[in-house]
Amino acid sequence: MTQPAFPPAARTAFAALYPNMPGKLSHALTGHPLLTLDALAALAEALPADSIEYNPGDLPIGIAPEAVPQSELGVVETIRTIARAGSWVALKRIEQHPDYAALLHDALAELRDVVEPRTGAMMQLEGFVFITSPGGVTPFHFDPEHNILLQIMGHKTMTLFPIEDEVLFSAEVHEKYHLGMHHRNLPWQDAFAAKGEAITIHPGEAIHVPVKAPHWVQNGDEASVSLSVTWRSQWSYAEADARAFNHLLREAGFAPASPGPFPAQNRAKAYAYRAVRKLKSVAGG
Ligand SMILES: [Fe+2]
């Protein structure tokens, strides 16, 4: 990288937010040669099929099954023509390609001085690219990673909700999610809307999305490209394991307190759950 992904003002803003607060940052990756539609079409060809999700958009009603695009050609064509209605492409774990691994690792290395004193080692660095047609909506959900969403092309509005509000997102849903028993999508009620903070990002702007902060996304009225740079931390893993331990307590008839928000480190319950998990694996259960 010749210039940082996050200029000094972005790092200062990030330091004021991390790890719990959503907010807007700036970035300098707009126009990066790896993030043009042509480069992303080439990335889609290089990634394994299970790292690509896409909807080819408006298909004729009477299309023959063999004519539905399912090959790499289909996704390449979809990326190149993304300005048409109704298409979207998600390229997952872009770090499988060495050029994108370097882009991701260089960008996140710029934040390490802020991250590691607060939440421990940065782990499981993963990058995602979202290429969307005008106007699409991503429904209300949460993600398990620390995330910064960088807008590269077009604009979108993400509405974020408080992490600790158990009316929006119950303790049981947290627990079941960490045990693989609940999908990331959350049930929506119109009464939630007033609790959301809407943040709109254009090229050169980014959003810090805290771990598991519920959110939904409205794309703008032109094609959009966003890059998501994510990581896990010792703290996020401990919170996840404490949630799983609470599920065991709840099954045993207790009503456990939810893990403390940052700066609580939730080590006791996390270690207890890891011990149980180890015993279960020793016992073959
Ligand atoms: Fe998300």
Longest CA–CA span in the chain (Å) reads 59
Helix, strand, coil: what percent of the chain each, to 5?
A: 40, 25, 40
In a domain, 3, yes or no: no
Distance 145 CA to ligand 1 centre (A): 9
Distance 212 CA to ligand 1 centre (A): 9
What is the reported pLDDT for 72?
52
Residues 119 and 260 in one domain: no
pLDDT of 255 strictly over 60: yes
H or E, element range at 141: strand 137-141
pLDDT of 223 strictly over 90: yes
Distance 280 CA to ligand 1 centre (A): 32
* Residue range 18-42: mean pLDDT, rounded: 97
Report pLDDT digits (tens) over 49-85.
999 998 876 555 565 656 655 555 588 888 988 887 6
In a domain, 79, yes or no: yes
Distance 34 CA to ligand 1 centre (A): 22
Supply the CATH number for residue 43's domain.
2.60.120.650
Average pLDDT, the chain: 88
Distance 39 CA to ligand 1 centre (A): 23
pLDDT of 139 strictly over 90: no
Distance 215 CA to ligand 1 centre (A): 7
In a domain, 2, yes or no: no
Residues 19 and 141 in one domain: yes
d(CA 89, CA 185): 18
What is the reported pLDDT for 1?
47
Number of domains forming the structure of the chain: 2
In a domain, 1, yes or no: no
The beta-carbon contacts of 70-75 under 8 Å, at least 24 apart in sequence, are 72/44, 72/45, 75/41, 75/44, 75/45
Residues 17 and 141 in one domain: yes
What is the reported pLDDT for 117?
96
Domain that holds residue 265: 238-282
Structure tokens of 12?
């200062």
pLDDT of 34 strictly over 90: yes
Q: Is 175 exposed, middle or buried (0-12, 13-18, 19+ CB in 10 A)?
A: buried
pLDDT of 203 strictly over 70: yes
Distance 208 CA to ligand 1 centre (A): 11
